Amino acid sequence: MKKILVIGSSNVDVSIRATSIPKAGETVKGLSVSLNAGGKGANQAVACSRLGGNTGFITVLGSEGSSSLLPMFHESGIDCRGIDVLDGKQTGTAYITVDNDGKNTIVVIPGTNYDCSADYIKSKDYLIQESDIIVLQLEIPEEAVDYAIKRSAELGKTVILNPAPAPASLNPDWLSKIDYLTPNETELEKISGMSVSSVQEAKIAAQSLISKGVKNVIATLGGGGALLVSSSCSEQFTPPDIKVVDTTAAGDTFNGAVVVYLAEGKDISEAIVFANAAATLSVSRKGAQESIPSREETEKFLASLAKEGAI
């Protein structure tokens, strides 16, 4: 089994449930508020580890993050040598509003995620060297992601970039170094500069990124599942049906699951079917890291879907 290294953010999520997400200038009454373990990097590291991957994680936490987030990383079996705690500093915080349909909006305050700099990653170079698959998102400084992508490509590692939150455009130097780019519809629209309001448009937008050097695009399309596009194929994978409770971390769960199957040497199509099942289970539960299923649960769910003829 190949070794996975996730490099990215950790956040304390302040999750508010409300019947609807307020529009600009509107005040709505909330239903509940809770504190959860989150952050795109941390969610993806937990997903990789919980779903059976040999996973390391590079991140930086503030004081309270060491008590509220670190235990989950240890519990999930993550290699924590890449994690530093900066006493007296504030851990990243995300303010999430979830509506009755499970949809969300998120505002992130970076906190110590912005201490996860290129120099910090350089100080953990041994972790990049000993890993095979490097997984990145965009909640740490862009110069840090730039360094990590270039260093990983130089060492011949497989690079996976989940371009979230989406920048206005992707650094053109990165494109030929990315093996798998995994945007959702909104992110795909932003980084391709093209409209993505149908599967056909998503395919055209993904192909535009392939023509610029990205090897594979896996676009997550919410209820439409996932679309895999490379220079030789384009295939949509529809997800199983489930009652959606909270979509927070569904994309992170999907990414983690794809990475684990790739680390096990499985085919990308098989990886996406597994990832759709894991992400479906995660949207049936509240929160970020606590919503991520185990390998056993995901395999049981897949087996039940196969029995019903649903996949």
Q: Which residues bind ligand RIB (CB under 6 A)?
A: 9, 11, 13, 38-40, 43, 94, 106, 108, 139, 248-249, 251-252, 288
- Least Å from the CB of residue 65 to ligand RIB: 12
- Least Å from the CB of residue 16 to ligand RIB: 13
> Any idea which residues carry the catalytic annotation?
252
For ligand RIB, the closer CB: 10 or 216 = 10
Helix H, strand E, coil C: the string for the chain is CCEEEEECCCEEEEEEEECCCCCCCCCCCEEEEEEEEECHHHHHHHHHHHCCCEEEEEEEEEHHHHHHCHHHHHHCCCECCCEEEECCCCCEEEEEEECCCCCEEEEEECHHHHHCCHHHHHCCHHHHHHCCEEEECCCCCHHHHHHHHHHHHHCCCEEEECCCCCCCCCCCCCHHHCCEECCEHHHHHHHHCCCCCCHHHHHHHHHHHHHCCCCEEEEECHHHCEEEEECCCEEEECCCCCCCCCCCCHHHHHHHHHHHHHHCCCCHHHHHHHHHHHHHHHHCCCCCHHHCCCHHHHHHHHHHHHHHCCC
- Least Å from the CB of residue 252 to ligand RIB: 5
For ligand RIB, the closer CB: 149 or 288 = 288
Question: In the complex, which residue's CB is closest to ligand RIB?
Answer: 38
For ligand RIB, the closer CB: 55 or 175 = 55
- Least Å from the CB of residue 155 to ligand RIB: 27
For ligand RIB, the closer CB: 38 or 62 = 38
